[in-house]
Structures are given as structure tokens and as C-alpha cells.
């Protein structure tokens, strides 16, 4: 008798996984991975944007890696991860050098071009920390259903860029850790007040890096609640 696997930590569930390359308008090649449901087509697509590369962020930062490891199987989602310019991970190093959130505009555009070329459905941006800045600054330029912001620091995205999301037909969801190092719930409510339709999810006990299985599960639950709520509750066991 095969015992079910507990879904936690580094468990990788079945999916169709493909190493991919993205090509930017300024001539760079970025490395990444596309994970698709093992059976059937995805119902939606997560385009993930990783934390700050100069502080160790990359496409394998743990929440994004676990989203790719679990959500194709558990929630019938496509998950696209990639290293922004100059960023290195076990998958390889993307060409170019860190652009301080400016040149990365072209990196996001290349990812969205890939989504269009592959015909991937209902794209959502999922940014974490630095990745939320890219989503806020440039996400409105693309055909997305919405953006999910994990631990947004609001360092690079200006008040005007945040306010520009007001009245948008797409969703904006910010997941704010109670104990964040940069932006805590009270300040987040003030700084997102310019976007009446924005949904702020305040996570009691949450921290910027979302370390630990309980925090990982909470973040993945919030992503799925936005993108494919019919898949909730996510199971904690997997039968091979």
C-alpha cells in the first residue's frame, strides 16, 4: 500500500516542466521555467516576479519555487518563473546586469510576450518584495487579470504609480505581513488608499520572507483564492 505524501517543504508534485528562455527588446536572453498541469490545460497562469537579486532573490526564492512545485497539480495553474537580468540560480544566469527596477520593465514585457505566444490563459502577476515593484510600475501595460503583491515594500513604486491602478478593471491584491520589515498593515492601508478596489490581506504573525510551512501555505492559499478559488481548500496530502 502506497502511503500519501504530506505536502510540505521541498515536495515537488507532478507537472509538465520545461526550461524556457525569454528574449527582451534590448537583446538579452533570460532563463526560466514553465510548469504546467500534468493532465489537462491550465485554468490560469501565474507570472512570478522574484525578490531583489542584489539581496539573494531569484526564481527559486522559496515561495515561488513552492508555487511551481505544488500549484500545477493542486490548482490546475501554469507557473512561469524566470531570472530577471543579471540574476543567477541553479537554472542558469540571465544576461545583462541589475537595472534597479528600471530596465526590468523589458524583462516583464518579455515574459508577457511569452505568455501570449504560448496562449497561456488568464495571466496574473505574482510579485514578491522587489517583484511587487515591477508589478506595480509596469503591470498595467499588459493584458493581465490582476496582480498579487507579496510583502510589497513600496520603495521603488511611487505614489503616482500606485494610484494609477485606481479604476482599473483588473484586480490588485496585497498580502501584508503583520511583522514586515518594510511595510506593515497600518501604513499599507494608508499607501493603498488611493486604489479603492485594492484588497489588502493582513496576515497575523506574517513576516517579509514568509518562512515556515504555515506561512507558505497561507500565501499559496491567498494566491489560489484569487486565481482559482474552486481549487480550495488545498489538500495537505498527495496520493501518488
How far apart are the two ends of the chain, measured CA to CA in Å?
A: 11
Question: 186 falls in which pLDDT band (50, 70, 90)?
Answer: very high
pLDDT greater than 90 at residue 226: yes
pLDDT greater than 80 at residue 240: no
pLDDT tens for 145-158 read 999 999 999 999 99
Q: Which residues contact 34 (CB under 8 A, 6 or more apart)?
A: 17, 18, 20, 78, 79, 80, 118
Percent of the chain with pLDDT over 70: 99
pLDDT tens for 77-94 read 999 999 999 999 999 999
DSSP per residue over 85-106, as a string? TT-EETTEE-SS---TTTTHHH
pLDDT greater than 70 at residue 213: yes
pLDDT at 187: 98
Percent of the chain with pLDDT over 90: 97
pLDDT tens for 161-180 read 999 999 999 999 999 999 99
For residue 109 the three cell numbers come to 514585457
The architecture (CATH level 2) of 5-238 comes to 3-Layer(aba) Sandwich (3.40)
Helices (H) and strands (E) in the chain, counts: 6, 12
For residue 189, count other CB atoms closer than 10 A to its CB.
Answer: 14
Question: 1 falls in which pLDDT band (50, 70, 90)?
Answer: low
What pTM value is reported for the model? 0.97
What's the mean per-residue pLDDT of the chain?
97
pLDDT at 235: 95
What's the mean pLDDT in 111-131? 98
pLDDT greater than 60 at residue 120: yes
pLDDT greater than 90 at residue 3: no
Rounded Cα gap, residues 45 and 77, in angstroms: 6
Long-range contacts of 114-117 (CB under 8 A, 24+ apart): 114/20, 114/22, 114/80, 115/45, 115/47, 115/80, 116/143
pLDDT greater than 80 at residue 51: yes
Amino acid at each position: 500500500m502506497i502511503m500519501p505524501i504530506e505536502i510540505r517543504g521541498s515536495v515537488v508534485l507532478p507537472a509538465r516542466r520545461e526550461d524556457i528562455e525569454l528574449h527582451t527588446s534590448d537583446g538579452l536572453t533570460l532563463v526560466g521555467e514553465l510548469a504546467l498541469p500534468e493532465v489537462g490545460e491550465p485554468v490560469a497562469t501565474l507570472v512570478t516576479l522574484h525578490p531583489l537579486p542584489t539581496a539573494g532573490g531569484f526564481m527559486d526564492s522559496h515561495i515561488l519555487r513552492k508555487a511551481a512545485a505544488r500549484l500545477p497539480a493542486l490548482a490546475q495553474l501554469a507557473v512561469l518563473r524566470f531570472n530577471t537580468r543579471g540574476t543567477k540560480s541553479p537554472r542558469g544566469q540571465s544576461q545583462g546586469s541589475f537595472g534597479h527596477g528600471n530596465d526590468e520593465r523589458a524583462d516583464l514585457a518579455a515574459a508577457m510576450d511569452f505568455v501570449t505566444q504560448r496562449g497561456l490563459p488568464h495571466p496574473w502577476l505574482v510579485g514578491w518584495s522587489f517583484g511587487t515593484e515591477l508589478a506595480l510600475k509596469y503591470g498595467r501595460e499588459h493584458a493581465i487579470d490582476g496582480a498579487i503583491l507579496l510583502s510589497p515594500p513600496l520603495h521603488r513604486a511611487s505614489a503616482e504609480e500606485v494610484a494609477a491602478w485606481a479604476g482599473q478593471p483588473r484586480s490588485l491584491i496585497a498580502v501584508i505581513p503583520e511583522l514586515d520589515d518594510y511595510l506593515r498593515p497600518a501604513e499599507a492601508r494608508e499607501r493603498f488608499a488611493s486604489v479603492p478596489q485594492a484588497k489588502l490581506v493582513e496576515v497575523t504573525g506574517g513576516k517579509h520572507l514568509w518562512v515556515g510551512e504555515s506561512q507558505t501555505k497561507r500565501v499559496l492559499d491567498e494566491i489560489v483564492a484569487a486565481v482559482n478559488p474552486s481549487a480550495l481548500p488545498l489538500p495537505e496530502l498527495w496520493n501518488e
